[in-house]
Structure 1
């Protein structure tokens, strides 16, 4: 489908994690033409970058094209640290603009693979499929789920131009991934041997409280976030945008889900307010 629709090989998006390793190996064993790309988020751990570089070196020796994609935002090169001030708020679990800009905006009009798996979250199980077709017209978006209907195929043709995505291990559990890696003796990211459950961007809100350990191990990244928050606050104050954040430390505490900024409503405040205004919610 990739060669027929785009005239280009399938693109393996390699984050440096365990899922990328598995579906990259599946593509190799399938004997299909493919290329490999790593989206340079600028917030990956050094070990991940070194691991990807070593992987690319081995693949290029086999004649496989590999490259790093550097993100662009509003027509200019961007990093995690310059993106936060432009957005005027840190990335959160519900507003992960970092993924959209640093990863998902790349490779338009190409057929790609990802390591999305239903087991990772309930949202992905309900909203992601084995084959996905993205277009600017959301009404034409196509998702084919991995159901048990014998009439369904792994891929179904759709000639609407746009990014197409294949999720080859979408129904794999974590144990399936690790069983495959160990049984085939595949070289994986060393961070997993150091207690990491995920190897995405350092400080990612999806990592929850594990971020504390990440910042203890990589204090330089913590300082980078602080500098980004300081620049963000400068822009907020310059544009006279109301905020409860006094300084970068306050932003960091809120971001780490530690403290509520002064003036922001908390749950017990809402309960008291609701008792005083019983009619406003009816």
Structure 2
């Protein structure tokens, strides 16, 4: 069975389970990146009923925001329910990257990815979702399965129908209230994604045509230093937004009596970027890479 057919069969199986267990259609999570565009196309070809969900991070590039809006406009004209998920504070305000950083009292890092957990992963509670997760994206994702039950308690998570583990059953008896997840393109390589998108004429985020290897939050700590420098060079207003958020973070830390070597938002930014600039040093605009 080829990759497309296998992915479609996974979608059909998850859709059937979602309709039986939750009495609601499968939710396709959509980021505006290449994997989610391929996933959305496969969902359409599968013939299943589905909805689409985009989690608003407030730190995506403008091109990604426009691409998501254009895609949703097409989907809605075709009768597909599309939702942009925003996040709320206990007092009813919006959670955005720029007020999340002061609230967490530290910058987001590859080890403390609170931005992902609060801005990307909280939607579709009580629903069965489909994601574009692929093993080829990182070594960590090789532990992910084609069908999963996620839970806030890691010890209670299940990987179902893991293609790397013949000992697992297709489904396992579970009374957990964790989120059910299907990863239909888990075993696709990067070349499979691009070849399929080209063959099917899938409209992709325009950032890829401009040489971008990844599209996600500007400044994501999971990206390489080179990628992050490129992002802030092209989108300097995002750099300024991070610096202002870091300054508010320092003010909140001072209010709570927390010490630290950082004095300004720029000090935090340079430490976060690991660019070798010491607290109090000045860097002339355009000379950041020297």
The TM tier, using the shorter chain, reads 0.7 to 0.9
Q: Deviations over 1:116-172 (max 9, x none)?
A: 11111111113x11111123554432112213639853x556453331111111111
* 2:3 match: none
User: What stretches of structure 1 move > 6 A for 4+ residues in a row?
Assistant: none
If the length of structure 1 is used for normalisation, what is the TM-score? 0.87
| Structure 2 residue 176 is matched with structure 1 residue 167 | no
Q: 3-state SS of the aligned residue for 2:53?
A: strand
Q: 3-state SS of the aligned residue for 1:12?
A: strand
* Alpha carbons 1:72, 1:101 under 8 Å: kept: no
Q: Structure 1 residue 28: deviation in Å?
A: 0.8
| Structure 2 residue 147 is matched with structure 1 residue 123 | no
* 1:275 match: none
* 1:48 match: 64
| CA radius of gyration, larger in | 1
* Alpha carbons 1:11, 1:110 under 8 Å: kept: yes
* Counterpart Cα distance in 2 of 1:75 and 1:179: 47
| Structure 2 residue 120 is matched with structure 1 residue 87 | no
* Counterpart Cα distance in 1 of 2:210 and 2:79: 32
Q: 3-state SS of the aligned residue for 1:175?
A: helix
* Counterpart Cα distance in 1 of 2:188 and 2:274: 31
Q: 3-state SS of the aligned residue for 1:72?
A: coil
* 2:212 match: 196
| Structure 2 residue 251 is matched with structure 1 residue 231 | no
Q: 3-state SS of the aligned residue for 2:72?
A: helix
* 2:38 match: 22
**In structure 2, do the counterparts of structure 1 residues 245 and 190 end up closer, same or farther at CA, with 3 Å as the change threshold?**
same
| Structure 2 residue 197 is matched with structure 1 residue 181 | yes
* Counterpart Cα distance in 2 of 1:233 and 1:20: 36
Q: Deviations over 1:195-231 (max 9, x none)?
A: 1111100110111221111111111111110110010
* Counterpart Cα distance in 1 of 2:260 and 2:89: 25
Matches within 5 A, 1:1-150: 1-74=17-90, 76=92, 77-126=94-143, 128-144=144-160, 145-147=162-164, 149=166
* Counterpart Cα distance in 2 of 1:90 and 1:150: 41
If the length of structure 2 is used for normalisation, what is the TM-score? 0.85
**In structure 2, do the counterparts of structure 1 residues 148 and 101 end up closer, same or farther at CA, with 3 Å as the change threshold?**
closer
RMSD: 1.8
| Structure 2 residue 275 is matched with structure 1 residue 222 | no
Unaligned residue ranges in structure 2 (runs of 5+) = 1-16, 280-290
* Counterpart Cα distance in 1 of 2:91 and 2:180: 23
* Alpha carbons 1:244, 1:261 under 8 Å: kept: no
Unaligned residue ranges in structure 1 (runs of 5+) = 263-282
Q: Deviations over 1:43-86 (max 9, x none)?
A: 01111111111111111111100010002244542100000000
* Counterpart Cα distance in 1 of 2:40 and 2:34: 10
**In structure 2, do the counterparts of structure 1 residues 258 and 20 end up closer, same or farther at CA, with 3 Å as the change threshold?**
same
Which range moves more in the overlay, 23-32 or 70-79? 70-79
* Counterpart Cα distance in 2 of 1:91 and 1:71: 17
Q: Deviations over 1:216-248 (max 9, x none)?
A: 111111111011001001011111101111211
